[in-house]
Structures are given as structure tokens and as C-alpha cells.
Structure 1
Amino acid sequence: MQPSNSQLFEEAIAKRQHLLDDDTNAVRLFDGAGDGIRDVFLETFADRWVLSTRDRLITQGVRNFFEHCGKTVYWKQLDQQQKTDPFHMAGPAQLKPFIARESGIDYEISFKSGYSQGIFLDQRENRKRVRERVGSGDRILNTFAYTGAFSVSAAMGGAITSTLDLSQPYLDWAKKNLAHNQLDPSEHYFCKGDTFHWLNRFVKQGRKFDGIILDPPTFSRDDKGKVFRVEKDYHRLTDLASRCINPGGWILASNNCRKISDTDFLYEASRRLPISHKATALPMPEEYTGERYLKSLWFDL
């Protein structure tokens, strides 16, 4: 007999309990086909749940579990044309921002600020790697920074960070995330604008960093209409970034493009780097048992 939806959810959540403790209360609890239900995903943020599906309708079996789970639950339809807030599905509504914790760091989460909730949980281990690698006073550049989670991780390790994003509201959110961890935003730098523009500017200025984080969208178009596609153009990013790195520095390069294989991403991201570079492929967090969509490379230069 096939297990019910409730059994599948309960089993997946139970086997991830070892990831939850006083230092971490935000993880993926259910990972689609890897846990037995294709295109259904569940994440917890400080005991508030976000259910994500690729279908417009939720099956009654899935709905029944969440309507009786006793948690605040929001539902998000993935890959939608209009990136809207998740829909309140069950439990008390969460109308205000709140704090979730990951690896001992506090991040502000919101279910009312659009399609994403403030932190991408699939980058948890990469954030830990950044924090462990930096030293006091290291200069770290976080591009496509969103709400600055990588910046906070680096700053917690003693680094001086520069956070770069197109959106001023996200830069302001990054400042709040620093402050939530007793870090003074005035001791760090914030750059509003296009990553390619700023990297070119840093190259011309001779400005150098000890580490650079690259986690671009799969597809984008700049204000002059120039298109960026991960599978064809990532080398442009790593090339510019490598020219802004101090000797002995590093680049963390990530993408979640399903069109590009691990091997092709390694080739695309490294083909203009110095021949002496060292590349290390990084795994996703352990609870991602389904599709290994996130590709991450650590380049030591």
C-alpha cells in the first residue's frame, strides 16, 4: 500500500528534526520527489511554514494535512508570471516581519513582501563556508545580494562587506539584518545598481576584495537591453570578479539554472579565470533530497 500524503509529510519532517535547534530554525522540511510528492515543497521559518507547489491547485490530501497541522501555513505557487505574496492557508496569519535563525544568525523574514521571504534556504551551507573562510578585516563583495544574507554571514566572521543590489528596499533590508545581529551597518558599504556596471567600475578604480559572492538570476536584461543568461554569459561575471580579487582571494559562484549541467557550469564559469585557479564543487544542504538544481563552485585564485 502506498503511504498517504500525511505519512509522507510526517516522515520527511521527522527525519529533518536533527537540523533544528537553538541556532537554526529555518530549513527545508519536504523536498518534492525526493520525499515522495513531485513539485511540492515545504520550508519552515521559525515554526511558520511555507508550502510551495508548481501546480495551481493543491490536492485535497495535501490540503487536509496542512489545514490540520496546527501551524501558520502560507502557500506559494512557483514559477508564476506575477510574483505575488504567498497566500495565507492555515493557522494564525503572520502579517508582520519576524526573525528566523540560521547557524546562529538572525534574519528578518516577511510573508508580505513579495514572492521571496527574505532568505534562500538552499544557500545555508554556503553562508557557513563564507563565515568560516573570512578573517577579521577581510573585504568581501556580495553581488546580487537580495537582503544581504551572505553579507551578514561574512560580517559575523569579522569581514567588512560591500552589498550590491538593484533594489534599495532590499539594501535597506540588508541593513536591518546586520542590525539584528548587533552589527553596525555604518561600518559596511552598500551599492545600488547593476552588478556588471559596478564590477567594471571597481576594475577601473583598482578596487580589490578578498572574496566575492556571485549568485545571479538565471536570466536578466540590463537598462540598455543587454541580456544575461547563466548558461552562456557566466564567464563575463567571473572574469570581471577575478580582476577585483586580491592575491589568495576567492570567488563563490552559484546558479540555479536547470538548463546547465555541473560540468558545463564548471567550464562556463572558469573559462576566463587564471589558469592557476583551483575549483571546488560544493553540495547542497543535506535536506535537499530531490533535484540538485543549485550548482555552487568555490574558486581559489
Structure 2
Amino acid sequence: MIEIDKRAYNSIQNFSRLIYTKAVKNKEDLPKKESIVNLTYNGKFVAKAIYNPKSVIIKVLTTKDEEIDREFFYKRIKKAQEYRTEILNLKDTYRLIYAEGDGLPTIILDKYNEIGVMQLTSKLIEREYLGDIIDCLFEITNLESIYVKSGKKGEKIKSKIFGDKDKFETIIKEGDAKFKVNAKGHKTGFFLDQRNNRLDMRNYIKEGDRVLDICCYTGGFAVHAALEGAEVVGVDISNKAIEVAEENMELNGIPKDRYDFIVGDAFAVMEEMIENREEFDVVILDPPAFATSKENLKNALRAYNTLNYLGIKLAKRRLITCSCSHHVDREMFRNTVVSSAYRAKKELRQIGGYRTQSPDHIISMANKNLEYLKCLFYYVNF
């Protein structure tokens, strides 16, 4: 039994699924390897959780004194599926499992039609429960192939394929846009968290607009802008991502003279554009996470400041700017963007409120850590 302090107990009672090892009173009883442990308070059962000696976070699986077995995972996956299809009314493509948001810590799974891509960060789950989890997924959903990959954090998981090993590519729909998704590609193949923001952006694009999409990856924002009649320039450091972005433009019937993709460093490309006195009606900034830990937060904010400064300099009318850095909160990000605007000597007028990830990427009231995506829409006033 692992005894926790009152603060951790209250946190769990208030629906938090994460506590810190510093809350453990009898640290000498913590296991030497990753294990499922029983948490107690004043000697009474509180929860079952995943403990990993390599992490300072203990992840709660359940507050019931129940077996962690196939039935446990079946019920959790079934509930996650029903939330997406019955509450959110999503059809074929969505984040089916979002770790603590669905009571399944260390597991993330995106569903692209009949293909699932899972990111897993627990060797314990892989070793003891993955077979049952995969069986449940095939039974509950219409998935035909499931690709398991190692997540960004945690233990290194060997990649595996379950089901139809020849099925790794599909075409998904987002509004009237179509995108090619390859499960063997980067991360989970396509970022679903920006779905609502991409669709909302289309309300602010005019036919004939010149749009700059920085860190465009496989063209999510770019394709939607082009479908509204814009001329699009996309920039990404990955040659492979650019190749897929071009394929997505062709897939949507966008003429080749309406788009141009550049492989290169975003900062260098934007600086060159400013030197050449280029301007864009709309600038979209969707960079990777600059802050991967609290230790590099200062450098990350500096990078966000510079990126937004360059984007604002290039923007004639609108700026759409994003951060997926977990350690950069809403106000920190907004203040950084405003600072960039002062530096660029342009006024920003915020359009609407804060935008975040699509609702299938659940944000629980007790786990603010689940909210990582910040997206701000601005009117740029000269």
C-alpha cells in the first residue's frame, strides 16, 4: 500500500488523475520498477495507479477497488468511443483515446477511418495489457489496422502493427477538404487537434487572398485556405511533409499556380521575405512545441516572440498564431504575441476568445495539463 498525503487525496477526490511522488508518505515502499499500485489515505483505499520510478508523476487508473483487466479496458474504450460518436457527433476520424482525459493514462489513439495510430508510453501496459486493449478496439470500433508507436515521453515502445498490415494509408475528410494520411508517417499521421481552428479560419479568408502558412506540415491550414480561393505559400523544414502537402493540394483539385511550398527553416525564410518586402493578407503560425520542459521555457518564449514578430511584419490583415507547448500557458502565450506586436509596431485586435484543441482532445476541469494547444486569431491594424 502506498500512503498519500491529504493534498493528494483531495486532488483525487476532485477528479484529478495525476499526483506527484512527493505526496507519497512511505516512499521506501514504492516499487523498484513500473507497477500498478494501490494508493491509500489514512489506511483506506483511494485509487489504483501506474507508478514508474523514472517519473515524478503517479497516474491514476481508477478510484474503484477493481481489477485492471480486459473488462476494465473494454469499458473505458467503449465510453471513450461513445463520447466521440454520441456526444460530439464525430463520424470517421477523431482522437479516440486521450490518456488521462479518458481514464487511460499513457495511451493516445487517433482514428483515421479504419486505421488507428496509438502512441504508448508505458512498458507495463505494453507487456501486460496491450493484447487485450487491441482486441477491445477491434471489437468496439470498425478499425482494421492499428499501428502502435512510442510516445514522446516515457518508455521506448517498439513499433507494432495489428490487423491488416497492408492497410496503412487512407483519405480523411474535414469539412469539404480531403487529406491523405499515412500511418507510417510522422507522429500519428495528421494533427487532428487543429480541426475546429482550421474550419473556423475559413470564415476569415477571401478569394484572392495571399496566405502564408508557416510550419505547414502536410498542409492542413493551407488546403482549407486554398479551397476558399486563396493563393497559398507553405513553409516547413520537412521535405517529406511538403511532398504530402503538395499531394493534398492535388487531391483537393487546387491548381498548381495557386500554391507554392518551400522546404526550409521558418525563421530564415520569413526574414528573407521581409527583406524582399513581401506581404500576405493572412499569416498562419503553427510551430512545433518550442518548450518541451520548464528548463527551456525562457528560450522557447524567445523563439515564440521572434516567430510572431516576423509573422506580424508580413501580415497585412490577419494573424493566426498557435502554440502546442504544454509549459506555455494561455496568458504567457498571449503576452508574448502582444510583445511581438509592439516590436513590429503594429496593433493587434483579437478576434473572438481563446481557441484550443478540438473537443475529442478532452480537457478535464481537474487536469489543466490536458490543455496544451493555444490558438489566437487577430486582425492586424496598421
SS in 1 for 2:357: coil
Residue 260 of structure 1, aligned match among 328, 339, 352: 328
Name the structure, 1 or 2, with higher relative contact order (CA <8 Å, separation 6+).
1
- The equivalent of 1:206 in structure 2 is 277
Give the fraction of aligned pairs with identical amino acids, expressed as a percent. 23
Cα offset, 1:32, TM superposition: 1.2
- Structure whose alpha-carbon radius of gyration is higher: 2
Query: Does residue 12 of structure 1 match 2:70?
Result: no
Question: Which residue identity is paired with 1:51?
Answer: M
Distance change in 2, residues 1:217/1:114 (3 Å): closer
1:239 to 309, 325, 341: 309
Residues 121, 156 of structure 2: 8 Å contact kept: no
Aligned residue number for residue 150 of structure 2: 77
Give the distance between the partners of 2:166 and 2:371, measured in 1 at CA: 31
Q: How does 1:1-301 map to 2 (within 5 A)?
A: 1=64, 2=66, 4-18=72-86, 19=88, 25-58=92-125, 60-70=128-138, 71=143, 72-79=145-152, 86-88=159-161, 90-117=162-189, 119-219=190-290, 229-246=299-316, 249-273=317-341, 274=345, 276-279=347-350, 280-290=353-363, 291-301=370-380
CA displacement at 1:204 relative to structure 2: 1.4
How far apart are 1:157 and its partner, in Å? 1.3
Deviation (angstroms), 1:112: 2.1
Flag the 1:108–1:82 CA change in 2: closer, same or farther, 3 A.
farther
Structure-1-length-normalised TM-score: 0.87
Which segment is superposed worse, 6-15 or 99-108? 99-108
- Cα contact 2:150–2:158 (8 A) shared by 1: no
Counterpart of 2:312, as a letter, is S
After superposition, the C-alpha distances for 1:59-106 in whole angstroms (9 at most, x for unaligned) are 534530313533321112111699999521x21114553212222311
Structure 1 position 108, deviation (Å): 0.7
* CA 82–31 in structure 1, closer or farther in 2 if over 3 Å, else same: closer
- Provide structure 1 residue ranges, at least 5 long, that are not aligned to the other structure: 221-227
Find the aligned partners of 2:234 and 2:84 in 1 and give their Cα distance. 32
Task: Indicate the SS of the match to 1:183.
Answer: coil
How far has the Cα of 1:116 moved from its partner?
A: 4.0
Q: Does the C-alpha gap of structure 1 residues 82 and 286 become closer, same or farther in structure 2, counting only changes over 3 Å?
A: closer
Q: Deviations over 1:132-154 (max 9, x none)?
A: 22010111101111111110011
Aligned mates of 1:263, 1:215 — CA distance in 2: 18
Residue-by-residue CA offset, 1:9-57 (whole Å, 9 max, x unaligned): 1011011114566xx6221112111111222122100121112222234
CA RMSD of aligned residues (A): 2.6
TM-score by length of 2: 0.69
